[in-house]
């Protein structure tokens, strides 16, 4: 990558080198090197040396072995019989003879590496889809340990996403068991992670994947992992402002809830949805927060003007009676009521294999208990014509 | 730094400092403004440097350091049983958080929240998230994640079994959280030490009251009980003058019951009236 023109953007060459050195380690880069020409840098890296600026380029390159440049390495056997072991010795041979005995690529490569001939590179074309496979350095027995390899792939994926100005909403981690597996273990498995909002934040994706991997039990040791970007959609990065930002407001709530849902299960993180119903059990429909993020643009529904408790019991609790008065931590003092709620024969459901309706006929009262606060109780007639009292909510 | 400064002014004449002896009548008011702000006197309520959210009760705000529920720290609400008066106390703070467009997150409430009732506090469906975590470890983890993320407008978490060191950990996290964080705990936890800078014991009174005791706050200890008038959302409109004081109704009923037990061998049925009235609606 030609950087000379934009060195200042990165805060100088030294800073840039440091940043590249620090961040490339996570991608699995083993050797970094830099030199005035790209082929020279490549040759230095192959020879396990890094700095091509320490001495004049010709001196540095002359000492390198033949393997350092691919075009030279192809003729290694012939050159070795001529007595050449370093690039400098090859270059010392007469050019005319070299051009006649070997192909044109050898001379061209040598000239390009030494900076005598301009280098032409092909444009890097970013693939349309992302699917990268990585062979793990050691067999992995536990699913959370897959994260180490997966993080390297995630970094690559986020680089790919940044280059395409896109974010991911679903990605799949696939793994293959190694050859020593038992027959019952199968080929491998896969895990698809979905996010509510498109993102290319490595840290968030890693934590999300870690939560999902914590639930996975591997049936055999894993040798390879592959990461695929399944759903990709365009994502514009937030533009930076010239003026200082007021303050970082913290993490996005959706991201935290997503992480919590990944650990506890999607049914444990809920957002309400008001339903047009008069029966308290079905007034609020709770749905997973991730699914309802789409519907958040609804205008708020109108407020009910009749008294409603702030907590309801999922199952109304039948109250004991004394002298025909309901008891809940003492005798209840009925304050206001009755408020008749009736109907629901149209709401059919299947309970215990028989179809039934959720018909209710209840008289709600606001009651006061000396210990349990203001309660919402109702009186209803049971199937055997008995009158029963139930506790249904609390005005907490 | 408060103590030496205080001694300086109350100093007896034996102190060899000429400044003190020459100006024994110098009142604390004469101090420069910035020193005054940095000085804390033993009889003052502490002033937290953090932001506060007004509680909506003037009597309570006057007793709370800074004049409201503190942000950047934990507040413990201790109740004899959960789910009795939380929303009544926090109604105004909730209303402010939602009006600012921020989300109210409840973690592990004792019963399921009922949105139509919460609408009286201004909560709508876009600004409420219920995290259903049953195990104590899960509740703690969720609470810590939410506090660390600093994304909620108000966090209300029921932690009946939290240990003191866990509360301390949460308090450390909460110092970087801009929203008020309330932990609902049983009143038995009042005897345990806690790192939360504000601890409130909350009971409800029969006559539409909340009775608060500030067990711990920055500043001098608070003696006595704060009684705040509070009617749950939506009930205000249906209260008749007779219903304004339910304690009288209860007292009257108990007097009647005693009379029946003592006076007549075959007691009438006092609640039968109510039953008959509602049956008539069938």
pLDDT in tens, A144-166: 888 888 888 888 888 888 888 88
Does B260 lie at the interface with A, CB-CB under 8 angstroms?
no
Mean pLDDT of chain A: 80
Averaged over A28-34, what is the pLDDT? 73
pLDDT band at B123 (very low <50, low <70, confident <90, very high): confident
Return the bridge partners of B199, or none: B76, B216
Position A209 pLDDT exceeds 70: yes
Whole-angstrom distance, CA of residue B165 vs CA of residue B156: 19
Q: What is the pTM of this model?
A: 0.69
**Does the pLDDT value for residue B184 go beyond 90?**
yes
Residues in chain A: 396
Shortest alpha-carbon distance between residue B236 and chain A (Å): 9
Sorting pLDDT into bands at 50, 70 and 90, what band is B105? very high
Closest-CA residue of chain A to B124: A300
Instruction: Tell me the pLDDT tens digit for each residue of B226-253.
Output: 898 888 877 888 888 888 888 888 888 8
Residues of A in contact with B89 (CB under 8 A): none
Chain B contact set for A260 (CB, 8 A)? 131, 142, 145-146
Average pLDDT over residues A364-374: 87
Rounded Cα distance, A297 and B126, in Å: 8
- Residues near A300 by Cβ (< 8 Å), separated by ≥ 6? B124, B125, B126
Closest chain B CA to residue A285? B115
How far is A267 from B171, CA to CA, in rounded Å? 28
Give the mean pLDDT of B86-114. Answer: 90
Q: What single-letter DSSP state applies at residue A103?
A: -
Residues of B in contact with A314 (CB under 8 A): 111-112
Cβ-proximal residues to A200 (8 Å cutoff; 6+ apart), any chain: A157, A158, A161, A162, A166, A167, A168, A235
Query: Which of the pair, B276 or A54, is modelled with greater confidence?
Result: A54
Point out the residue among B86, B133, B232 whose CB comes nearest to the CB of A374. Answer: B232
Q: Which residues pair with A190 in a beta bridge?
A: A174
Structure confidence at residue B276 (pLDDT): 46
Gap between the Cα atoms of A337 and A363, Å rounded: 8
- Terminal Cα distance for chain B, rounded: 74
Residue A326 region by backbone torsions, left for phi larger than 0, else alpha for psi between -120 and 50, else beta: beta
Q: Which two tokens stand for residue B83?
A: 């789910």
- What is the Rg, in whole angstroms, of the alpha carbon atoms belonging to chain B? 25
Answer yes or no: are the C-beta atoms of B107 and B142 closer than 8 Å.
yes
- Burial zone of A36 (CB within 10 Å; 0-12 exposed, 13-18 middle, 19+ buried): middle
Distance from the Cα of residue B197 to its chain's centroid = 12
Residue B19, pLDDT above cutoff 50: no
**Which of residues 179 through 238 in chain B touch A, CB cutoff 8 A?**
204, 206, 232-235, 237-238
Which residue, A367, A371, A369, A370, is CA-closest to A379?
A367
User: E strands of A37-149, at which residues?
Assistant: 131-140
pLDDT of residue B274: 47
The Cα A213–Cα A8 span in angstroms is 42
Contact predicate B222/B63, CB 8 Å: yes
* B137 inside 8 A of chain A by CB: no
pLDDT band at B6 (very low <50, low <70, confident <90, very high): very low
Q: Is the predicted pLDDT of residue A126 greater than 80, yes or no?
A: no
C-beta atoms surrounding B209 within 10 Å = 19
Mean pLDDT of B95-109: 90
Question: Whose structure tokens read 């402010």?
Answer: B96
The CA distance from A309 to A317, in Å, is 15
Report whether A160 contacts A133 (CB < 8 A): no
- Closest of A187, A150, A155, A152 to residue A172, by C-alpha: A150
Three-point CA angle B148, B154, B157, nearest 5°: 75
Element (H, E) at A380: strand A373-381
Question: What are the structure tokens assigned to A284, written together?
Answer: 């609020």
Q: What pLDDT is attached to residue A250? A: 55
Distance CA B156, CA B109 (A): 8
Q: Express as a percent the part of chain A with pLDDT over 90.
A: 1
Strand partners, B274: none
Q: How far apart are CA B88 and CA B79, in angstroms?
A: 13
Element (H, E) at B214: strand B209-216
Pull the structure tokens for residue A332. Answer: 């209840």
**Would the CB atoms of A310 and B113 count as touching at under 8 Å?**
yes
| CB pairs A-B closer than 8 Å | 208
Q: How confident is the model at residue B20 (pLDDT cuts 50, 70, 90)?
A: very low
User: Does B9 have pLDDT greater than 70?
Assistant: no
Q: How far is CA B241 from CA A27, A44, A396, B35, B248, in A?
A: 74, 92, 22, 53, 12
Q: Within chain A, what is the greatest distance between any pair of CA atoms?
A: 119
Q: Is pLDDT of A229 > 90?
A: no
Reported confidence tier of residue A280, pLDDT bands at 50, 70, 90: confident
pLDDT at site A97:
82
Is A333's CB within 8 Å of B249's CB?
yes
Interchain CB contact of B259 with A (< 8 Å): no
Q: What is the mean pLDDT of residues B195-205?
A: 90
């Amino acid at each position: 990558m030609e950087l000379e023109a934009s060195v200042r953007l990165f805060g100088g060459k030294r800073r840039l080198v440091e940043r590249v050195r620090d961040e490339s380690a996570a991608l699995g880069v083993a050797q970094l090197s830099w030199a005035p020409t790209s082929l020279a840098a490549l040759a230095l890296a192959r020879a396990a040396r890094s700095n091509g600026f320490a001495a004049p380029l010709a001196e540095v390159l002359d000492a390198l072995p033949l393997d350092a440049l691919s075009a030279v390495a192809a003729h290694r056997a012939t050159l070795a019989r001529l007595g050449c072991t370093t690039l400098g010795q090859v270059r010392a041979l007469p050019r005319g003879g070299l051009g006649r005995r070997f192909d044109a690529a050898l001379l061209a490569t040598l000239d390009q590496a030494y900076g005598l001939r301009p280098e032409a590179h092909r444009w890097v074309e970013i693939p349309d889809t992302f699917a990268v496979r990585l062979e793990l350095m050691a067999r992995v027995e536990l699913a959370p340990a897959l994260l180490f390899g997966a993080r390297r792939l995630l970094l690559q994926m986020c680089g790919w996403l940044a280059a395409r100005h896109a974010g991911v909403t679903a990605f799949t981690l696939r793994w293959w068991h190694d050859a020593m597996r038992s027959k019952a273990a199968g080929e491998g498995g896969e895990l698809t992670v979905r996010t509510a909002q498109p993102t290319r934040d490595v840290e968030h994706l890693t934590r999300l994947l870690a939560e999902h991997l914590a639930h996975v039990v591997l049936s055999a040791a894993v040798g390879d992992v592959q990461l695929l970007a399944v759903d990709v959609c365009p994502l514009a990065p937030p533009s930076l402002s010239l003026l200082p930002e007021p303050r970082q407001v913290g993490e996005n709530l959706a991201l935290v809830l997503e992480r919590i849902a990944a650990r506890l299960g999607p049914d444990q993180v809920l957002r309400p949805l008001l339903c047009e119903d008069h029966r308290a059990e079905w007034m609020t429909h709770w749905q997973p927060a991730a699914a309802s993020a789409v519907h958040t643009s609804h205008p708020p529904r109108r407020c009910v003007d009749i008294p409603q408790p702030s907590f309801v019991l999922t199952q109304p609790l039948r109250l004991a009676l004394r002298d025909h008065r309901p008891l809940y931590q003492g005798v209840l003092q009925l304050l206001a009521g009755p408020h008749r709620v009736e109907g629901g024969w149209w709401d059919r459901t299947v309970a215990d294999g028989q179809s039934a309706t959720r018909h209710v006929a209840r008289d709600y009262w606001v009651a006061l208990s000396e210990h349990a606060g203001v309660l919402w109780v109702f009186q209803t007639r049971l199937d055997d014509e008995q009158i029963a009292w139930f506790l249904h909510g609390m005005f907490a | 730094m408060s103590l030496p400064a205080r001694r300086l002014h109350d100093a007896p004449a034996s102190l060899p400092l000429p400044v003190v002896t020459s100006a024994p009548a110098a009142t604390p008011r004469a101090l420069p403004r910035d020193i005054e702000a940095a000085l804390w006197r033993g009889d003052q309520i502490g002033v937290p440097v953090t932001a506060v959210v007004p509680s909506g009760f003037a009597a309570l705000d006057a007793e709370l350091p800074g004049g409201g529920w503190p942000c950047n720290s934990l507040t413990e609400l201790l109740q004899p049983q959960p789910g009795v008066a939380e929303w009544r106390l926090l109604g105004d703070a909730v209303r402010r958080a939602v009006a600012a467009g921020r989300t109210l997150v409840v973690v592990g409430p004792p019963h399921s929240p009922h949105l139509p009732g919460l609408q009286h506090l201004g909560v709508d469906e876009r600004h409420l998230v219920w995290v259903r975590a049953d195990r104590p470890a899960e509740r703690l983890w969720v609470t810590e994640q939410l506090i660390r993320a600093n994304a909620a407008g108000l966090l209300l978490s029921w932690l009946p079994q939290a240990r003191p060191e866990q509360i301390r950990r949460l308090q450390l996290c909460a110092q970087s959280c801009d929203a008020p964080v309330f932990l609902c705990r049983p009143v038995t936890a009042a005897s345990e030490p806690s790192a939360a800078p504000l601890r409130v014991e909350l009971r409800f009174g029969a006559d539409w009251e909340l009775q608060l005791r500030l067990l711990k706050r920055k500043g001098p200890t608070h003696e006595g009980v704060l009684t705040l008038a509070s009617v749950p959302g939506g009930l205000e409109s249906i209260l008749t003058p007779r219903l304004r004081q339910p304690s009288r109704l209860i007292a009257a009923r108990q007097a009647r019951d005693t009379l029946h037990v003592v006076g007549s061998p075959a007691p009438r049925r006092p609640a039968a009236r109510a039953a008959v009235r509602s049956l008539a609606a069938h």
